[in-house]
Each structure stands twice: as C-alpha cells, then as structure tokens.
Amino acid sequence: MKIASKLCVSVLLSAGLATGAAADAVMAKKGMEADMVLLPKFLGILVFDQANTGAQEAHAELENPGELLFVGPTPENSVAGQIEIVTTAATQSRDAVMISNNSGDQIVPAAQAAKDAGAKVVTWDSPIPSGEAEDVFVAQVDFASIGEVMAEMAHSILDGEGQMAVLSATPDAANQNAWIAAMQTALEAEKYAGVELVDIVYGDDQSEKSYDRALALVDKYPDLGVIMAPTTVGIQAAAKAMQDEGLCDEVAVSGLGLPSEMLSYTLNGCAEEFALWSFVDLGYLTYYTAYLMATGQISGEIGESFVAGRMGEYTIEKDPTRENGNRVLMGPFTVYNMDNIEAAAAE
C-alpha cells in the first residue's frame, strides 16, 4: 500500500515535471549581472572566433551589465595556457567560465578551483572527459550521429568498398575521440562491412603537421581511398596536401570542415562532401546556458528546460556519450557538397 502510493506519487510527480518542464521552459530574465569568460582551445582558428561572435550576440541581447571576455592561449601553449586562464578566472571570481577543453582531464584541478570560487563551469565544443568539475556540456550535435554521418560519407565516397584513415586533432581532444569512437561503432554495422579503417593519426590541429601527416598516410597506405578528418584544421590541411600532390582522384578528403575554408576544395573535387554545424549558434547557445546558470535562473539539473533566444527551447539531459556529465544538445548539422557549399560559404 505504502509502496503503491509512493509509486503513484512519483509517477504523478514525474508526469507533472515533464509537462511542467515543457510548459514553463525558463524564459531568460534580461539585465542580470554576471562576469563571463569564453575560453577557446586556442586563439587563431576561425570557428572559435565565430563562437565568440555568437556569444557576443547573446551578451548584447541579454543586456548583461557584466563583462564577457574572450581570452585564449597560444596554440603551442594550449594546455598550460588553458589551466592558467581558468585559474585566473577563479582568482577573479568570475561567475561563469565557458571552456572548449583541449586539456583532457588535466583541466580538472583548475576547473574545480573555479567552481569552488563560485563560478559555473560550462564546457562547449569539447567537454571534460571525466565530467568532473563541470556543470554542463553544450554539445554541438549528438556524438553518435557524427559517427554515423562520417561512416556514411566514407561509405558513399568509397562506393561501399575501400580503405579509410582518420586524421584527428590532438590525442587528448575529448570531442574528436568520442566522434571517432562513435564512427568505429557505426562501422560495425553490416552495411559498412566494406569500409576498412586502417589508421588514426594526429595533426594536433596545426596546419603544417596535419599536412605532413596526411601525406604520410598516403605513403603508408597505397590503397587508401579516403582521409576522414573530424577537425576543421585537419580537413583543410589534408585537402590542400592532396591537391598539391595531385592525388585528389585517388584519395578523397572528408570530415568536418568550414564551408568558407573548404569552398575551393569542394569545387575542385578534392573534398566533395563534408559536414559541420554553426559555431556562431554554438557560442550563442553556450552563452545562454552559462548566463542562466550564473544568474541562478536554472540550476543545471537534468530535465530543466529553457528558451535560448532565437534558437528556441532546450532541455538539460544526461550526456549519453560519457559516464558522468550532463549536456544540452544543440544539433542538427549540415552535409555540404557541390550543391550547397557556395551559398553556405557566402554567409
């Protein structure tokens, strides 16, 4: 009897929560003060500047009288630099730190210090792998679906049969690692039996290194059909390498790229097909999430819903791609090819 009534109550409660959440998704109250820091993996990459554009847009729209800082480390000092910036943010008692994490779990001690100092730690683009010291992760698209799209693109480029190699960013980049893992899972399906993943190499998101790694792949695997680069730096470097060596007919390049950077390679056939999402939107949604948490309008609990301005309603959920951690899922993303790239690049 007791159990039954408890069950009854909890069912009612959860039903109430579910409908309640849908009905009263939190509308952001404007003009509340919160000092925010947007931290990219490092400075000097277009997508991170785009994310900053989106965050600045949200910052102005929400009329936050506080500061929004965009500070990042130099590429060769990314890990130590990220740790330093998060530590400084803690010292300065910032209200929210938004991190595109490039430091794996090495960032945890610094992020924990920021939390202890009262900041909300929101990751975007790339989460903290262990989920420790992180309030919520704003995921660009579902990691599993990135894996499937990459498998599908490889399948269609290879016509169902052939060798693929992955050119990734840094070995510690949590997002790239998760996408590659998701792709490997997707490849186990019957449909992709003909697609063989022969190697995974790392260009550290540096153009020159990625370029060299792409050429090394071609030398090592004479039958290679496609280089899949789930990073905007890697895909561009690989496409340029294949173009420079006149290899575009034999080895196709695909993965995640920026239309404006990939336009010429798609038109000349070196990278016929690739995918991406909008980093401006990602920055915008990340800012909304962090602002609402830093001003206490949402607490970051699973099931909470909020309206992120022009992008509409989002709900915080358990991150299915990690053992620990919550996420807000942005989605969807676009596959670019000859038909739509010119319009997208002109944006």
Partner 1 sequence: MSSTDIGVAKRPLEKAISHLSDWEGFLLAVLVLTIIVNASMSDVFLTVNNQINLFQLSIEKIIVALIMTLIIINAEIDLSVASMMGLAACAFGWLFLHGVPIGLAVPIVLLIGVLGGAFNAFFITVMGLPSLVVTLAMLIGYRGLARVLVEDRGITDFPAWFDALGQQPLIGPFPLSLLIFFALLAFLVVVLHFTGFGRYVYMIGNNKEMAVYSGVAVNRVKATLFIASGAISALAGLLFAARVGAVRGDVALGFELDIITMVLLGGISIFGGRGTLFGAIFAILIVLNLRNGMALANITHHLQTGVIGVLLILSVLLPNLRSMLRQFRETRASARS
Residue numbers of the site for partner 1 (CB under 8 A)? Answer: 43, 69, 71-74, 76-77, 79-81, 83-85, 87-88, 91-93, 103-106, 108-109, 171-172, 201-202
* Closer residue to partner 1 (CB): 83 or 329: 83
Residue 316, φ and ψ in degrees, nearest 5:
-80, 130
- Is the Cβ of residue 98 or residue 270 nearer to partner 1 in the bound state? 98
CB of 77 to partner 1, least distance (A): 7
Smallest gap from residue 194 Cβ to partner 1 (A): 27
Q: Largest Cα–Cα distance of the chain, in whole Å?
A: 76
> Which residue lies nearer to partner 1 by CB, 37 or 47?
37
Q: How far is the CB of 255 from partner 1 (least distance, A)?
A: 18
> Considering the complex, what minimum distance in angstroms separates the CB of residue 47 from partner 1?
18
Smallest separation (angstroms) from partner 1 to the CB of 6: 38
Q: Tell me how far, at minimum, the Cβ of 74 lies from partner 1, in Å.
A: 5
Separation of alpha carbons 156 and 114, rounded Å: 46
Q: Nearer to partner 1 by C-beta: 171 or 331?
A: 171
Decide whether 104 or 259 has the Cβ nearer to partner 1. 104
Closer residue to partner 1, CB minimum distance, 105 or 261? 105
Closer residue to partner 1, CB minimum distance, 53 or 297: 53
Distance in Å, CB of 93 to partner 1, minimum: 7
How many CB atoms are closer than 10 A to CB 1?
Answer: 5
Three-state SS string over the chain comes to CHHHHHHHHHHHHHHHHHHHHHHCCEECCCCCCCCEEEECCCCCCHHHHHHHHHHHHHHHHCCCCCCEEECCCCHHHHHHHHHHHHHHHHHCCCCEEEECCCCHHHHHHHHHHHHHCCCEEEEECCCCCCCCCCCEEEECCCHHHHHHHHHHHHHHHCCCCEEEEEEECCCCCHHHHHHHHHHHHHHCCHHHCCEEEEEEEECCCCHHHHHHHHHHHHHHCCCEEEEEECCHHHHHHHHHHHHHCCCCCCCEEEEECCHHHHHHHHHCCCCCCEEECCHHHHHHHHHHHHHHHHCCCCCCCCCCEEECHHHCEEEEEECCCCCCCEEEECCCCEEECCCCHHHHHCC
Q: Would you say 40 or 147 has its CB closer to partner 1? A: 40
